[in-house]
Amino acid sequence: MSVLTGKHLIDGQWCAQSCESFSAYAPQMDEFISPQFHSAGATEVNLAVQAAERGFDVIRQLSDHCRSELLTSIAQQLEHIRAPLVARCVQETGLSTARINGEIERTKKQLLHFASLLMEGTWRRACSASSDVTSHPDLHLSSVPLGPVVVFSASNFPLAFSVAGGDTASALAAGCSVIVKAHPAHPGTSEMVADCILSALKHLDIPPCVFSLLQSKDHEAGVALVTNPAVKAVGFTGSIQGGRALFDIASQRPEPIPFFGELGSTNPVFVFDSTFANGVDTFAQAFLSSMTQGAGQFCTSPGILVLQKSEHLDTLLTSLAAVIPLQAKQTMLSPHICSAYRRATRQRQSRSELNTLAVGRVAENAQSQAHIALFSVSAQDYLSNPELEHEVFGPSTLIVICQDFAEQLVVAKSLRGHLASSVFSGSDSEDRQQVAQLVDALSLKVGRLVFNGFATGVEISPAMQHGGPYPSSTMAATTSVGSRAIERFMRPVCFQSMPVDYLPVVLTSATADQ
């Protein structure tokens, strides 16, 4: 795609009927950039859903091999446009070239991971139970796709959790058609990636109704998609407020549908004093790097740090307070996100029970520049104010200071749900029993536990869990990263005493592939 159209992709055509439009904003340039993008209205939503209904009948009957080729082709198409895609994405997000290149690699890896999974032939978890006893019938269990899926792109991952990200890849792999609601923070990037998917569909002669992209800056299009009776599941990555509103809508439909939402998480980090046996510098550098990575806009950023009082703690706080004001400016994804972050940090600065340890400086007229902010609070005050656990999306962390391990454990048991948590401990054998107690308590609160490391890196692996108890996600038993992500968009069906001639195509094709 040499020129952006500013339109929606529906049934293989770039089209727009609504007169409402918006522009992308370039955070580093501090200005809006062309072209204008049309906002989807009721007509475009209905056309996209109608296309997805036809697309579902197409993709669910494709062989695993064909869907694997589709995912592989999308990854190849992304590589073909790497240079212009990186340039546009850097403009729209303010993220570095290295970060965007890394995210392209991750997006390709996700696509290829599911392509490989499809070729293994075991992803449906098919099994049979045959019996020679007449009173025990033959049973065959497999899985079928749910139907058309709506995916909401994330603001903070314009590629890996966006148009061709993990939700789209796993839904297509499962045999579902997909409608992506692009994020208004990076509409040009979204259009370019959607064109890659269209090119892959054309290359394989697959009807383009399998995939659609809708652009919109307001909430109406998203609500219309979630309420449409033809939509059978939703994948969402975003805020607690927005995600919970859509989750409630999905649950209250005449036919409720699964809403796989990743919402908010502060990913608490628990540190034992033995961690600092060889000094605090190594930990301080690693913490600061994790806290400020991507301007603190990672879903796994450390938003809470829980330590016990000690001389090492005093040294750590002094060191961080000295170095934070010297850190480079942090450019956030949009003025809206930056404004919300500034408002949240000002509120924390005004609270009497919080101690402001360090706050960086930025020009007030820079709409997307955020200051780094570090606060501390006693465990007693933290436990008395449960709202302090809420996520502050940006480069800020709250340090909770405990009198002893018993208080640390109380803090751990008080937590709501989070995507991840970390436990840091040195080689001191005296910590082992306490670490075990802490790990046990945290396992009930999070989806992933990291030992002596921060959770800001998420591996694409069959053993990965990216999802935790509410409010970190709406479906704690599922993951949005790794092989098991495909299970969100399919359901089991048992065929009892069914002759092979009458088994659905999805099963006969799986048998043929094996």
Is residue 219 within 8 Å of 184, Cβ to Cβ?
A: no
The two tokens of residue 28 are 């580093």
The two tokens of residue 54 are 């036809």
Indicate if 299 belongs to the active site.
yes
Distance CA 231, CA 255 (A): 10
- How would you class 475 by CB atoms within 10 Å of its CB: exposed for 0-12, middle for 13-18, buried for 19 or more? middle
* Residue among 299, 338, 402, 487 flagged as catalytic: 299
* Residue among 69, 191, 262, 389 flagged as catalytic: 262
The two tokens of residue 336 are 């809206």
Alpha-helical runs (H) found in 350-417: 379-384, 405-414
Cβ-proximal residues to 63 (8 Å cutoff; 6+ apart), any chain: 509, 512, 513
The two tokens of residue 171 are 């839904």
Is residue 512 within 8 Å of 63, Cβ to Cβ?
A: yes
Indicate if 44 belongs to the active site.
no
Strands (E), 215-319: 233-237, 259-262, 269-271, 304-308
- How would you class 167 by CB atoms within 10 Å of its CB: exposed for 0-12, middle for 13-18, buried for 19 or more? buried
- Own/partner long-range contacts of 94-100 (Cβ < 8 Å, ≥24 apart): 94/26, 94/27, 94/28, 94/331, 94/332, 94/333, 94/368, 95/158, 95/294, 95/333, 99/294, 100/158, 100/159
3-state helix, strand, coil split of the chain in percent (to 5) is: 45, 20, 35
H or E segment to which residue 241 belongs: helix 240-252
Distance CA 32, CA 22 (A): 9
- How would you class 366 by CB atoms within 10 Å of its CB: exposed for 0-12, middle for 13-18, buried for 19 or more? middle
Residues forming beta bridges with residue 149, ordered by sequence position: 178, 233
Known catalytic residues? 262, 299
